[in-house]
Amino acid sequence: MNLRAIGCGLLAAGVFVAVGLFAMSLAFSRLDGCPKLVQWGDRTYLPRGSVSASPSFAEGSPAEIGSTFIGLTTRRVWGPPGSTPSNLAADRPDSIVLDCDDGSFQGYGVKTP
């Protein structure tokens, strides 16, 4: 085997890995805090109100109804009192609270067309 070919192959593999790691660091650096919108199944939620220190609803104590993927992590989701977990979009509440993974929580509402 030619040493030049081996060297070029190793250099190409090193550049490929370095570019991949750099791209991943750029993509995942934006995942801290609350996202600008939440895509949960086939429903889209937009932020409502301001960030709070705990999940809360005006109607009372929130119910944990599941989780959603944000990047490679999952974030817990709460619904209004009496909400139950469901895989069907029609059963999901119009208002949710999302764990922002930084100790804060953000309320979201369904995006209307």
Q: Taking the model in full, what pTM does it have? A: 0.69
Both 11 and 48 in a single domain?
no
Both 61 and 87 in a single domain?
yes
Domain that holds residue 55: 33-110
Both 23 and 51 in a single domain?
no
pLDDT tens-digit series, residues 76-99: 999 999 888 887 777 888 899 998
Higher pLDDT, 82 or 41: 82
Both 49 and 25 in a single domain?
no
How would DSSP label each residue in 1-63?
--HHHHHHHHHHHHHHHHHHHHHHHHHHGGGSS--S-EEETTEEEEEEEEEESS--BTTBS-E
Number of domains observed in the structure of the chain: 2
pLDDT tens-digit series, residues 8-18: 999 999 999 99
Cβ pair 107, 38 in contact under 8 A: no
Both 41 and 96 in a single domain?
yes
